[in-house]
Amino acid sequence: MAHLLVFEFPSPGPYGDEAVAAFGDLARDIAGEQGLVFKVWTEDPGTGIAGGAYLFETKADAERYLAFHTERLNGFGVTDIDARSYPVNDGLSAITGIPPR
């Protein structure tokens, strides 16, 4: 069963095109994570919140990445992290456009 992992944390930026330039290498690294189907990057400069939603093939992949990415964010100085993991209903999600796996 697929698992959705959602991270949110305070961020002073960069945002938009500046974030693409600053975090492109990180995005390429994340793209190679075991079991990752996709990541959607989120940002809200108005509230100073950034994060992402990740779809993983399995709960084990999501849990492994949760531990790894929390440690990585802590290394960047990010400590106020809200991370949540949810099982995905694959059947209903397929109807509404989840990518085939």
Eight-state DSSP code of residue 100: P
pLDDT in tens, 74-87: 999 999 999 999 99
List 10's β-bridge partners, or say none.
49
Instruction: Express each pLDDT in 29-56 by its tens digit.
Output: 999 999 999 999 999 999 999 999 999 9
Distance from chain centroid for Cα 44: 15
State the Cα–Cα distance between residues 84 and 54, nearest whole angstrom.
10
The answer to whether residues 38 and 99 touch, using CB atoms and an 8 Å cutoff, is: yes
- Map out the domains of the chain with their CATH numbers: 3-95 (3.30.70.100)
Q: What is the pTM of this model?
A: 0.91
